[in-house]
Structure 1
Amino acid sequence: MTQSDHGDPGAERAGVLESRLLHISRDEFAKEYWAQRALLSERASDFSDLFSADAVDELVSTRGLRTPFLRVAKDGQTLPERSFTSGAGVGASITDQLDDTALWRHFADGATLVLQALQRTWEPVASFTERLATELGHPVQANAYITPPQNRGFDDHYDVHDVFVLQIAGTKRWVIHEPVYADPMRDQPWSDRRADVERAAAQEPAIDTVLEPGDVLYLPRGWLHAAQAQGEVSIHLTLGVHVWTRFALAEQLAQAALAALREDPQARATLPLGAESVSEEIAAIRTLLAGAIEQADPEPDFARAQRAQARPGPLGPLRQLATVTDLDDRTRVRLRDALAARLEGSRLQTRVGWLDFPDDQLPAVRRVLDGASYAASDLGMDLAERLLRAGVLVPADS
């Protein structure tokens, strides 16, 4: 076990980005690589606690997963869902559960299995992505790619999100080229620039390397890549970072300004009768819009959009009910994970809704937001029960 491993207490304090995904400091990564260029970190960590071949078999064969939690790809093409799904059997009117026999046959024939959204289906990955998203300030999702020896699932392409590639088992050769289109947004896929991608992929690569277990590759969005398994089955995790952009902030600013203009009688005024030219009106509204933008505060709406991009941590309804029912002054509670809680004046905004509080309860609400556990009596029994019922607090040992 290395010093960057998950068993090192210092690594926990450093955060998962620096302790498990990078061979350089967080500050150097932020300054020299984040959203700028690719980075290979060899032997960054041991990822056996996150995912494994056994995890693949369990998810495929016993969890009853449905599409779109899995895709199958071969020779650059995604196979139709009906070729690897079937009915769920008696008692379940479900027609698109994974068919493990069909998946085995595809895999034996050289197809890549893509387990999608593992942050929703595999707890170790869910916990890891939650921590990484908190550190980065951007939403993170996780896919696993399982490729038979000497095969590859996808041709050269780019993603519209940043990725961290974590090699779990086997080896895989990655060929990386610089972008043909810098910083593509989510509605600007590589297929829109297929010819440019094909030309660029024929040139000398920026990186040509074989990832081994424990290696991590960081690729900003737009960087071209193709990967092929080597002499054994390759399993890797791709952590997709769905980055917030200045354009997204501009959208929120524009929406806030337009909302303000709805309350401006000048903006609501009717255009002149029979006007053939609107140039003067455009000049006037440009002035009004500039003033509205100057005064607009997009931060609350942007914060709401950020909260909506991820789900809160798990909440077991039976455990939650038992905690509420048996609540006493010694019951210990804590803030629910990944809640994105934010106190705006006397209103608590979270991923599960908002709550207003009287002034005398606000100090206790602020204490809860630090993430520590508290006895219900420390917060006030009425407040603790209200927050438990709202799904804001959970039992401290959950």
Structure 2
Amino acid sequence: MSGRIRNFDDIVAPLGAERFRDEYLHRRPLYLEGTEDKFREVMNWEILNRLLGMTTIWSSRSLVLVLDRETVPVEAYASPAPGRDGGQVMRPDPVRVRKLLARGATLVANDIDQLTPELSTFARVLEETLGGKVQANLYMSSQRRQAFRVHYDTHDVFAVHVAGEKRWFVFEGRAEDPIAHPAFKNLPQEVHEKAKGALWREIRMTPGDLLYLPRGQYHYALAEDGGCIHIAFGVTYPIGIDVVSYLFERMVTDPLARANLPRGDREALATRLRELAARMTEILAEPRSLEDIERQMADFRWPRETYDLPRILEPEGQRFEVRGDGLRLVSQGGRFALVKSGTRQGVEVPRDMQPMVSWALERTAFTRAELDRAFFDRPAEQRAKFLRDMEKMAVLRLAV
């Protein structure tokens, strides 16, 4: 298989997307061996060096070093520097970072899923397939040094191995749906050691391999002698607490929710709590709430739009969305008008524009090039005027 990732089947090859969803997603770990070049376009040493060389995009928050299971103090590898957006940041110093890496420190590059088109495409494929938000961190380790103790993650993990070799130790223990909250993030290490359970499997990962770990699955990893790189794509899904957040926004407008709670009267307080519970139940039972939550779930992903230059700067590359809901073109006595359904209000359409208006209303979107091909016999200025007039009437919107 080539190193180009086009869809989720490519990611979980040779298993396949359908079998992954049916047998593994949210259920159990999965290890898949891959060809050496499977993820080469996503990340390799050349790409990593190029990204790290963009020194002004990094700070001590986005680039972290870990040595022998302890986070390296920021002052040991970073210095104050002007931030790209003003203010000061602690910027990693390549010279000091290299020295620590030579001693066996692990480099953690956080939030890299937007830094290259290939990383963004990989993350977008996961989001569109799984319905969650995806964030990616890169880990570069060496010299058999363990960076992190046994732990679980508060999201599903797709560990993509791209360089060198690393041994993973995956345990049978699994925390029940942990989330990114201090109640789960700040547990003493002895709690994890006790909860990890027996070793499920020791895995030696090489370039092209993929390891899937459901949220809460206990594990740790250990690099071999040479340098190695893997990227952990974390997937976070909508949960019940998101519904609580939605309910908070709805309750803000409810006088009952804004009223002071009764003091000094336990029975009155109990009555108020029952009233609040009834009101919340009533809100969540509304069809609107179901529609709102479904919409939130459908939109639960990070924006990954691109600029698409220089295509959008050329007229033939422009794309228009048709906002024709409720609009119809009617004719009477040889005259034409655009009329909104349910009203008698209309806007007259010149006879020479009628074919283009009819053509546009039959579509949800079209490009300038498509319009030019369909009406090549019309003067260019007439086609341009049609677009300007339809935009002014809000029937068309330029999509960028």
TM-score, with length taken from structure 1: 0.74
Q: How does 1:241-256 map to 2 (within 5 A)?
A: 241-252=235-246, 254-255=247-248
Tell me which residue corresponds to 2:336.
none
2:281 counterpart residue number: 290
The answer as to whether partners of 2:156 and 2:215 remain within 8 angstroms in 1 is yes
2:375 is aligned to none
CA drift of 1:281 comes to 3.9
1:52 alignment counterpart: 44
2:364 aligned partner: 367
What pairs up with 1:7-46 in 2 under 5 angstroms? Answer: 12=6, 15=7, 17-43=8-34, 46=38
After superposition, the Cα gap between the structure-2 partners of 1:285 and 1:231, relative to the gap in structure 1 and judged at 3 Å, is closer
- Could you say which residue in structure 2 is the equivalent of 1:192? 187
Aligned counterpart for 1:315 among listed residues 286, 294, 307 = 307
Distance of 1:97 and 1:273 partners within structure 2: 52
User: Once the 2 structures are TM-superposed, how far is the Cα of residue 259 of structure 1 from its aligned partner?
Assistant: 5.2
Q: 1:190, 1:147 → 2: CA distance?
A: 23
Change in Cα spacing, 1:111 to 1:257, as seen in structure 2 (3 Å) is: same
Cα offsets for 1:314-346 (capped at 9, x unmatched): 227x858x72xx63xx334389xxxxxxx9x89
Q: 1:103 to 1:331 in 2, by over 3 A?
A: same
Three-state SS of the structure 2 residue aligned to 1:235 is strand
Cα deviation, residue 173, structure 1: 0.2
Residues 172 and 230 in structure 1, CA contact (< 8 A), matched pair in contact too: yes
Task: Give yes or no for contact 1:180–1:196 (8 Å, CA) kept in 2.
Answer: no
- Post-superposition offset of 1:217: 0.1
The count of residues paired between Structure 1 and Structure 2 equals 349
- Are the aligned partners of 2:111 and 2:136 in contact in 1 as well (CA < 8 Å)? yes
**2:132 and 2:300 in contact (8 A); partners too:** no
* Distance in 1, Cα, partners of 2:263 & 2:107: 63
Counterpart in the other structure of 1:171: 165
Tell me the equivalent position of 1:224. 218
Which residue identity is paired with 1:153?
A: A
SS of residue matched to 2:288: coil
Question: Any conservation in 1 of the 2:252–2:258 contact (CA below 8 Å)?
Answer: no
Superposition CA RMSD, Å: 4.0
Provide the residue aligned with 1:338 in structure 2.
none
Give the match's secondary structure for 1:96: strand
Match of 1:103 in 2: 97
Asked if structure 2 preserves the Cα contact closer than 8 Å seen for 1:249 and 1:302, the reply is no
* Residue correspondence of structure 1 range 344-355 to structure 2 within 5 A: none
295-304 or 60-69, which deviates more: 295-304
1:131 aligned residue: 125
Contact 1:182 1:222 in 2 (8 A): yes
The answer for the alignment partner of 1:354 in structure 2 is: none
Amino acid at match of 2:203: T
Contact residue 72 and residue 79 of structure 1 kept, 8 A: yes
Contact 1:163 1:239 in 2 (8 A): yes
Give the match for residue 70 of structure 2. 77
Aligned residue in 1 for 2:116: 122
**How do residues 256-335 of structure 1 correspond to structure 2 at under 5 angstroms?**
258=251, 262=254, 275-278=265-268, 279-295=270-286, 297-298=288-289, 299-300=291-292, 303=295, 307=299, 310-315=302-307, 319=310, 323=313, 327=315, 330-333=316-319
Residue deviations 1:148-206, cap 9 Å, x none? Answer: 121221111111011101110111000011344211112143432532211244x5311
Return the letter of the residue paired with 1:53: W
Amino acid at match of 1:367: T
**1:381 deviation in Å?**
2.4
Note the residue ranges of structure 1 that are not aligned, 5 or more in a row.
Answer: 336-342, 347-357
Q: Find the residue that maps to 2:158 and give its secondary structure.
A: strand
One-letter amino acid of the structure 2 residue matched with residue 331 of structure 1: G
Larger C-alpha radius of gyration, 1 or 2? 2
CA-to-aligned-CA distance 1:359-394 (integer Å, 9 cap, x gap): 899x769734xxx866374896249979xxx99733
What is the rounded CA distance, in whole Å, between the counterparts of 1:274 and 1:366 in structure 2?
64
Q: Given the alignment of the two structures, is residue 393 of structure 1 paired with residue 394 of structure 2, yes or no?
A: no
Which residues of structure 2 form unaligned runs of 5+?
A: 327-339, 342-356, 373-382
Any conservation in 2 of the 1:165–1:237 contact (CA below 8 Å)?
Answer: yes
Aligned partners of 1:158 and 1:221 also within 8 Å: yes
Q: Deviations over 1:270-310 (max 9, x none)?
A: 88897552234444443343323222533336635874751
For 1:306 and 1:81, how far apart are their aligned partners in 2? 39
Residues 160 and 221 of structure 1 are in contact (CA less than 8 Å); yes or no, is this contact kept in structure 2? yes
Q: Which amino acid counterpart does residue 196 of structure 1 have in structure 2?
A: V
From the two aligned structures, give the one with the greater strand fraction.
Answer: 2
